[in-house]
Amino acid sequence: MDLNFIKDPAFLKQYSIEQLESFADEIREFLIQTLSKTGGHLGPNLGVVELTLALHKEFNSPEDKFIWDVGHQSYIHKILTGRTNQFNTLKKYKGLSGFPKRMESEHDHWETGHSSTSLSAAMGMAIARDLKGQDHYVVPVIGDGALTGGMALEALNHIGHEKKNLTVILNDNEMSIAPNVGALHNVLGRLRSANKYHWFKDELESFMKRIPAFGGKLAQTAEHLKDGMKSFILPGMFFEELGFTYYGPVDGHNFENLIENIRYAKKTEGPVIVHVITKKGKGYHPAEQDKVGTWHGVGPYKIESGESLKKKGKGPAWSQVISDALSKIARNNKKVVAITPAMTVGSKLENFKKEFPDRLYDVGIAEQHATTLSGGLATQGMKPFLSIYSTFLQRGYDQVVHDVCRQNLNVVFGIDRAGLVGADGETHQGVFDISFMRHIPNMVVMMPKDENEAQHMVYTAIDYNEGPIAIRYPRGNAKGIEVDETLTSIPIGSWEILREGHDGVILTFGTTIDMALNASEQLEQSGMSIRVVNARFIKPLDEKMLREIFSENIPVLTLEEHVLQGGFGSAVLEFAEERNLLGKICMKRMGIPDQFIEHGSVNELWDEIGLTTNEVVNSLKELIPNKLGLEQG
């Protein structure tokens, strides 16, 4: 079948089991072939081929609402809803999103990218359905990894209480990106091994009904027996105690089992959980054998061997630089403890875990818990390093304010993926953390220009004893420069001049330093002398240097890969306003405008928002004549 001709999934209604099995093979082949060229979330999608086909066969999208938690497993859904011909643009600039996208299709009812949101959204949709007197199914599909998130557990509690009709599909592959952790994971493990539970329950109920004069103490005893056997077969009866009807575990690669249990679920009143066991990466050997999350999201690869075709950067990954520095420090400082919310692999902490297994805590997809846990460690004199993606830290914001900064606890925040991340798009662009960290009392925020400065910043943060401190670092690879053997502290709030100049100043940090240096070099050819300052501390600012700059009465350009509102440039303006200097300076801010930035390469996104060397050059050319004109006037 030519997948490009698919417009909607209605044709699946007529498919036999044999046809579905053949079609599943076609889809797997398409995914393996296509993603070998574009990259993307291969493992999660290969694992849900049969499940997605069965759901679309038994439900009626878009009338019935599918909600894909995280959304990295939605590729088959996109194929079935008429988007196959866009897969060559997957995660590319202006191309097909790697996650559900409401503007892409009427079949996408909820946009995701972060985990554990599906159940809450589904409950909202179910309440709205009932209030409007409608009659359709709401079907959230959530993985066992996402189910560890606190928000998902809150939603389970509410759904079970309200008894709304919801069909929850639990896609259990024992993985999020990497293998899951936690007590709930162990509960699901016991459920996986209880294949005979429903048969036993039915047989037990049938036996009790055949007992003559079923009543009184006999009935009471039988009920106790039934409950006791349920607890024995399924310790805790977790989901049923929460108010759900539980179906499963179901073989997620067997169409007969899937369809049978989905039909049971559709006939059941109240909330239902269909527990589906799938194999992440199924159908492609390298992905099936993956035990650490390598094939969760991939770049282009050779199909025959699985070898990556992604070009390697000059230097090590930024995450690796930070992790290596942390390991180096931890060898001499037993108080150092690393915490991560299910990102041991993503944040390159595997080596730290091997060397210090009792000092690495993966808490699962639980950013709020991770933040407050770090605070608790800090109260006892430990040195907690919370390694967390910028956009995931958003989920722990209240804990940063209330639990860490308010108590002025000495927690180190390693803010990974700070700045534009490219192909993962607007759900993962780390461009808000300066704004939501900078305004909190007691917080220190810094960002390195290269890997050498990065390792010194890690040392600075661990050496710091006066409260919370954050290091931002980008996605991708560092520059590949030589690094110092000995680590030293950088004075808090100190900036450095990278290039001298007297006609204007660029204040910048991190990923935009090269852009500033290139602009300064170009302007030198036009006879302009532009100073470039590495403003590596975003909070506190280097007040001494700022005063000196403002006293020179020369134009100032702030440059940042971060939203302008509340960002670094705003901090400089606030400094000037507080000291009555606004009337004496000529200043412009460059950064990310007030909009969400979609997917594409970082360079393409820079071009789109005007964050380029040429724009820096043009801005300074405008600023300097304006300033000179004012002086002459």
Q: Which residues are catalytic?
A: 280, 367, 395
Place of tokens 């460059």: 590
In degrees and rounded to multiples of 5, residue 398 shows phi and psi of -60, -35
Angstrom distance (rounded) from CA 447 to CA 457: 8
| Strand-pair partners of 412 | 385, 469
CA distance 235 to 187: 8
**Contact by Cβ (8 Å): 431, 526:** no
Six token digits for residue 368: 């709020």
Q: Which residues of 174-187 are buried (b: 16+ CB within 10 A; e: fewer)?
A: bbbbbbbbbebbeb
Provide the pairing of β-strand 496-499 with 530-534: antiparallel
Q: How far apart are CA 529 and CA 515, in angstroms?
A: 16
Calculate the CA 11 to chain-centre distance.
35
CA of 459: how far to CAs of 51, 170, 181, 323, 325, in Å?
48, 43, 29, 12, 8
3-state DSSP assignment of residue 140 = strand
335 CB-near residues (< 8 Å, 6+ apart): 381, 382, 383
Which of 279, 272, 297 is closest to 140 using CA atoms? 272
